[in-house]
Amino acid sequence: MDRHALTPQEQASFLGLIETLADLARPRTLEWFRHPDLNAQNKLSGGFDPVTQADRATEAAIRACLAEQRPQDAVLGEELGIESGASGLTWIIDPIDGTRGYLAGTPCWGVLIALADAEGPFLGVIDQPYIGERFLGGLGRACVTGPQGEKPLKTRATETLDAAILFTTFPEIGTAAERTAFERVAAQVKLTRFGMDCYAYALLAAGHVDLVIEAGLNSYDIAAPIAVIEAAGGIVTDWQGGPVGESGQVIAAANPALHAQALGLLQAASS
C-alpha cells in the first residue's frame, strides 16, 4: 500500500489514528516531566544520549495501540527498534524528541509520530504535551491546535537569506566540516537561534522561522517534521538536495527559493 492508493475512508482513518496515538502519548510524557524521580540512562559511550522511563513508556503505549489497530504495518521507534510489516506502510516514532530538554525541564521537546510508504513520510504529528500544541500535516491537512485554538499551517514567503531566521539544535553541529558549512549560511541570515529540537521544525511549518539546518539526525528525528513541513508548503532535503537519507544531514526551508540559496552555501562550503 502507498499514499496514492488510499481511499478517502482510509485517509480519514489514518488521520484519526495518528491523533489517537498522540493523545495516548501525552499523559505518559507529562507523568514524568519535571518529576523529581525522573531517571536518565546514557545510551552513548563517549557522549550523552539520554533515555528515560518516560521515553520507554510512551513508545510502548504507541506500539501497543498500533499492534491492535494496524498489526500489518511496520513500526520503527527510537527506543524499541524495528518491527516488520506486510502492508508497505511504516509508523516512525520518537517518543520524546529532545530528551535533554525534557530532563532540563524546558517545554521544547515533543512527541514525533509519522506514517511513511516507500516514497517517505506523508503524514506526521509534532506534539508538545506541556504547552498543549499539536502540529499535524499530511493527507490534505496542515494545522496546529493549541491554547489559541486551531490555525492553518503555512510556511513563510521569505525571499532572501538576509531576511531569514535560522535554527539548529546544537551550536557544535555535526563534524568540523558540517559546522563550517552551517556557519556559511548563518553568516548570511538575519537571526540564528539554537536549541528547540523538533519544535524548531514546528515553528517553520507555522510560519515563524524560515530555515532549520542540522546534521547527525536519524529517521525517527525527522520523519514527522518532513510530513508536517511539506504539508505546510515547505521543503525538506539533505545537503545535496535529495531525499533525507542515511547521511543525517537535513535542511528544511520555508520555500524553494530560500532552500536553493541556503543549499548553495552549504554545497559551496563542502566543495
Q: If you classify domain 3-152 with CATH, what class do you get?
A: alpha beta
Mean pLDDT across 210-224: 97
Domain ranges of the chain: 3-152, 161-270
* pTM, to two decimals: 0.96
Question: What's the distance, CA 37 to chain centroid?
Answer: 28
Model confidence pLDDT, tens digit, residues 84-101: 999 999 999 999 999 999
* Cα dihedral 260, 262, 268, 271 sign: negative
Report which DSSP code applies to 163: G
Mean pLDDT across 129-147: 98
pLDDT band at residue 12, thresholds of 50, 70 and 90?
very high
CA 189, CA 210: separation in Å to the nearest integer? 10
Mean pLDDT across 31-59: 87
Q: What pLDDT score does 41 carry?
A: 87
The one-letter code for the residue type at 163 is A
Q: What pLDDT score does 268 carry?
A: 87
Element (H, E) at 17: helix 8-32
Strands 165-168, 191-194: pairing is parallel
Q: What pLDDT score does 55 carry?
A: 95
Q: Is 3.40.190.80 the CATH number for 161-270?
A: yes
